[in-house]
Structure 1
Amino acid sequence: MPAIPTDHLALQRFYLLERTQAERVTLTQPMGQGQTQEFTWAQVGDQVRRMAAHLQALGQDQGWEPGAKVAILSKNCAWWLFSDLAIWMAGYVSVPLYPTLAPDTIRQILEHSEARACFIGKLDGWEGMKPGVPATMPCISYPLSPDDAKKSYEGWDAICARTAPLQGEPVRAAEDLATLIYTSGTTGAPKGVMHSFGNFAWAMSTALKRIPMGPEDRLLSYLPLAHVVERVLIEHGWLRTGFAVYFAESLDTFTLDLQRARPTIFFSVPRLWVKFQQGIQAKMPQKKLDLLLSLPLIGGLVRRKILKALGLDQARVCAGGAAPMPVPLLEWYRKLGLAICEGYGMTENLAISHITVPGQNQIGTVGPAFEGVEARLDPDSGELLVRTPATMSGYYKEAELTRQAFTEDGWLRTGDKGQFDGRGCLRITGRVKDLFKTSKGKYVAPAPIEDRLGAHPAVEACVVTGANMGQPVGVVMLSQNAIEHSANETDRAALVQSLSEHLASVNSQLDPHEQLDCLVAVKTPWTVDNGFITPTFKVKRNRVDEVYGPQLESWVNKRKKVVFGD
């Protein structure tokens, strides 16, 4: 790794902001019932130092080893960031857990990471998660924790009230382990990705060269901080630049949270961009929107009104990632005056790999590599291989899996297939392992077909499947709006007609062996709770195959282009 300036490391940045921006408001936290609480850098510093002193005392009392692991199980909130900083300041390593995990997965991660304590924070379903936390594990609750957690564990405020702040500026070296990021994964058990303080510092320095950010920017934190993109963008962007962070309260208040924050930089996963689009289309039919946008003066007014309603009227940079962004979706937003940058990366390289350049039309690609990132294609498989100073040191306690993740000459295997265009921009063409064979012996790459299927306004998510069948099949999850507007026979017939025409259009662009036999439309939402998607809204193909696979042949045998699966 190249030499990392010490003042770029997370704790050193924090101390600088604590000293120089003491009275500046930096975090805005919703507290329920329309109330918010603001924190200045001085207030952040006071709380972090008190909790760091408590963790050190707890570690000394219980004989924790240097670099012991401390877990965080919470939705995003100010105390999440406080906890991470306190863990680092006390000399320990943080282990974030997604706030939607099943109890067995929680227990698995806590045991595998050898976590010595856990912060139990803002959660929706704590009663179901609680069995995953060992009864003997020391835990700390937040002011926003569920009531049961507050009763079971000592609270943050009580600990801070009786604990003197840790003095001085304890630092961690660039090579020190900062965190274990357990991958959510679409298959298999989560793996603990090891990242150092130097990895994060290099990643932020590189990201800022492509997407400049500064203290006057505002960002809304709502995607799980346990996910690599939110961790790098929000937490380490906040520490590097000192920008203001607003937290979302809940899904129900998300639109209000967005309007309150008026972010200048906004990142979202494709599924949420689709939901925004469908919300607009539910209020204004596409034909009417197209007409209004085509009118010189009225078009500008309509664009501004829509962006203001979304809370994105002051966004100077918008981005998407974590899953492929369909080209029609990007083009739709571009017509609204919102050019979305599409990024690409992995937990294993802190998501710093490729991103489209703001102001340049690179739709259909994920742009050129970040400065300092090397990328090439495996000559045999077409798999994208990358090499970067932000690459993980390995998977925690998994030497064989770590070995398998790299080529013999040290390049990280991404598992994605790609192509480069004449501008050096990368286009992801699918997953190496997602390819499947039909009964005709032909390989099908599902990702490009799914991009086309997802362009229909009634489709919220989709999977192309059908290994060992004559032709592939598209399983599409209908949007809530489509479900509500297909309750009667007439509306359902119109939806079937529209989907059938869409299927014909998609098939006309595919090779014969790729053409879909039919679409299976399902109404059951694919959620984290029922195991169909990861916490970052990636569809789990194995779950779709498990639930719908046994019925595919019977649906195909109906000889209809659109079949309702439930």
Structure 2
Amino acid sequence: MMTTGKDVITPLKALAQRCQNQGNAVAFVQPLGGGQVREYTWKQIDEEARKIAAYLHAQGMQQGDHVALVSKNCAEWIITDLAIWMAGGISVPLYPTLVAETVRQIMEHSESKFLFVGKLDDWDMMKAGVPEGVKQIALSLAPTDALEAFPKWPDIIRDTAPLADVHQPELSELATIVYTSGTTGMPKGVMHDFASLSTVGEKMIKVYNLTPDERMISYLPLSHVAERVAVEIAVLYVGGKIFFAESLETFGEDIKRAQPTVFFAVPRIWSKFYQKASDALPPKKLNRLLKVPFLNKVIKKKVLGAMGLDECRIALSGAAALSPEIITWFKKLGLEILEVYGMTENLAWSHTTEEGDQQIGWVGTPNDGVECRIGDGGEIMVRSLGNMKGYYKQPDKTAEDLTDDGWLHTGDVGEIDGKGRLRITGRVKEIFKTEKGKYVAPAPIENRLATLPGLEMACVIGEGMGQPIALLNITPEEQERLTKGHEKEHFTKELEALLERVNKELDPHERMTTLVVCKEAWSVENGMITPTLKLKRNVIEKHYAEQIAAWSKTRGVIWEA
């Protein structure tokens, strides 16, 4: 198990070390639009955090108060997190895509007294959910109406003296409440203390042999523990530089500016890289070129360079299984994507694939200090000091998911091989039974389908049906392309070939009869996917309930009318 004690360094002590050892080194690079960026040194980060902490005290914040934060990733997001801890508070991050109803649920449930409002695409969608009496503060990149209505970050930094004596938390103190994105119902508030953040922070840099020279790009939501630990906490403990993405439209330039040495992505991102590269250079042609000795290195560098990944030495994928086809394709280019496993409830600290020990379809061995076992019904259970302290104000749900002796019920089904590697075969609540009484795990099948260029997401359903079917979403780019000439006919043939190919890889009871191309895009805004880009199966199935029976009686590819 992990050890705790005086030798454990909290995130605030890690910040003090960075200031002492690398104080004048640039740590954050923030795009400001129009090609402009602002660079922050460690000393500047510390000073601004101390000023915000002092301002919170001046506004009446008490030790132990909950302070919420809603913003897309930016330098001030992390500085705010540090400032809340310096002031003795508990940070409550909100996803920047929540609707007003969910904002109100979380704000009221967490009893947050302050809200930092930052870089957002649709503040109008959210602001009605902020409860009366909550004091709001606008980050520098906040929407115009927030900047006009609330105290502004630049003014606070200009007019406030830095807090001299920052709070030094005990390891047992609560650091943050992270609300799960929730595929069903009310989000649960996962409580993590400073012991979790500290021990995982120190051990993570050893697992990946991180150095002060690392470069990372921060673009996945910092409100989710994976990005917060892999980027914010990692850099606090080792140093390095974080480049923030400006927008979805500029992501290509942002990643090329960063030239990340460490890059973490979810399968959907890796799939987009693969699809775009395959459009430009089809896999068969790539294979031929890679066989030419004098072209091999040039082609690898060119293809990875087009993605901004030619300097990447650690490539990670998590949140869901990554297609074997995509893993193999990147490996041919010299980039080994290592699958990792974790969840909000264990601070994303569970399993890691080690370089050179990759077995496709498996997520590696337990991280330092993590124990893993297979429980009833094949459920994966883990125990470590990365595990949560429980769900805020929900002792009954805590008792359901966390045993008295510290084992966490993950809700995932899996198996462990002779080397201790873990394979995830599905979710306990997602596995369905066909009318023949056979069980089907949808995720691995969806994973195989998602490799087709132009395909965004797949949702395999089949509860009580003769055979499963798959509902599909295609990318906006593909939607636009299909309006031209005979492209729809061509894409239909590609889908038919995909259905045949994937079915050959499945057991008879798993084989799909039908692929349905749905015309409505699944998004966070319409509730079809979570802010972490996971399918909300119950919502999707309910949305198409009236059509599913008819679709299941048809074979082949259907385009929703």
TM-score category, normalised to shorter length: over 0.9
CA deviation digits over 1:228-252, x for unaligned, max 9?
1111011111110111111110001
> Which string of whole-angstrom CA distances, capped at 9 and with x for unpartnered residues, describes residues 261-285 of structure 1?
1011000111011111111122223
Counterpart CA distance in 2 for 1:204 and 1:451 is 31
Specify which of 260, 264, 278 is matched with residue 275 of structure 2. Answer: 278
How far off is 1:21 after superposition?
2.3
Q: CA deviation at 1:289?
A: 2.1
Instruction: Identify which of 397, 414, 419 aligns with 2:415.
Output: 419
CA contact (8 A) 1:269 1:321 kept: yes
Q: Please say if 1:113 is aligned against 2:113.
A: no
Which region of structure 1 is more displaced relative to structure 2, 219-228 or 532-541? 532-541
Listed as ranges, the gaps of 5+ residues in structure 2 are none
Counterpart of 2:318 in structure 1 is 321
Contact 1:446 1:463 in 2 (8 A): yes
RMSD of aligned residue pairs (Cα, Å): 1.6
Alignment partner of 1:389: what SS? coil
Q: Is the 8 A contact 1:15 1:169 kept in 2?
A: no
TM-score by length of 1: 0.96
> Separation in 1 of the partners of 2:79 and 2:26?
15
- Partner Cα distance (2:352, 2:93) in 1: 26
Whether the 8 Å CA contact 2:93–2:177 is kept in 1: the answer is yes
CA deviation after TM superposition for structure 1 residue 33, in Å: 0.8
What's 2:264 paired with?
A: 267
CA drift of 1:480 comes to: 3.5
Aligned to 1:564: 559
Does residue 469 (structure 1) correspond to residue 465 (structure 2)? The answer is yes
Aligned equivalent of 1:42: 43
Q: Using the alignment, how far apart are the partners of 1:388 and 1:563 within structure 2? A: 47
**1:222 has 2:222 as partner:** no
2:396 aligned partner, one-letter code: E
Q: Deviation of residue 543 (structure 1)?
A: 1.9
Cα distance between partner residues in 1 of 2:506 and 2:15: 53
CA contact (8 A) 1:4 1:201 kept: no
The answer for the alignment partner of 1:12 in structure 2 is 13
Q: How far is 1:189 from its partner? A: 1.2
Mapped to 1, the partners of 2:79 and 2:403 lie a distance apart of 38
Question: 1:383 and 2:384 equivalent?
Answer: no
* Shift in Å, 1:466: 2.1
Asked if 1 retains the 8 angstrom alpha-carbon contact of 2:87 and 2:166, the reply is no
Matched AA of 1:123: L
Deviation at 1:38, TM superposition (A): 0.6
Please show how residues 75-474 of structure 1 align to structure 2 within 5 Å.
75-378=72-375, 380-407=376-403, 409-474=405-470
Shift of 1:409: 4.1
Aligned-partner Cα distance in 1 for 2:384–2:280: 45
Distance in 2 (CA, whole Å) between partners of 1:488 and 1:32 is: 34
Matches of 1:140 and 1:152, distance apart in 2? 9
Secondary structure of 2:155 counterpart: helix
Identity %: 46
C-alpha separation in 2, matches of 1:560 and 1:493: 17
Do 2:53 and 2:163's aligned partners in 1 also have CA atoms closer than 8 Å?
yes
The count of corresponding residues between Structure 1 and Structure 2 is 560
Cα deviation for residue 26 of structure 1 reads 1.0
Distance 1:481 1:278 in 2: 11
Shift, 1:545, TM fit:
0.6
Determine the C-alpha separation between the residues in 1 that align with 2:3 and 2:187.
Answer: 30
Amino acid at match of 1:403: A
**TM-score, with normalisation over the residues of structure 2?**
0.97
Q: Is the 8 A contact 2:8 2:199 kept in 1?
A: no
Name the aligned partner's letter for residue 332 of structure 2: K
**How far off its partner does 1:488 sit?**
4.9
The aligned amino acid for 1:367 is G
Residues 127-155 of structure 1, C-alpha deviation per residue, up to 9 Å, x if partnerless? 11110112421111011111000011010
Cα deviation for residue 169 of structure 1 reads 4.5
1:5 Cα offset (Å): 4.2
Amino acid at match of 2:505: Q
For structure 1, the 5+ residue unaligned runs are: none
Q: What is the distance in 2 between the residues matched to 1:294 and 1:479?
A: 32
The 3-state SS of whatever aligns with 1:306 is: helix
Q: Distance in 2 between matches of 1:22 and 1:486?
A: 53
| Superposition deviation, residue 541 in structure 1 | 1.0
Counterpart residue identity of residue 55, structure 1:
L
Q: Is the 8 A contact 1:4 1:202 kept in 2?
A: no
8 Å Cα contact 2:8-2:198 kept in structure 1: no
Partner of 1:57: 58
- The Cα of 1:363 is off from its aligned counterpart by 1.8
For 1:248 and 1:456, the matched residues in 2 are separated by 27
CA shift in 2, pair 1:458/1:22, >3 Å: closer
Q: Structure 1 residue runs of 4+, over 4 Å off? A: none
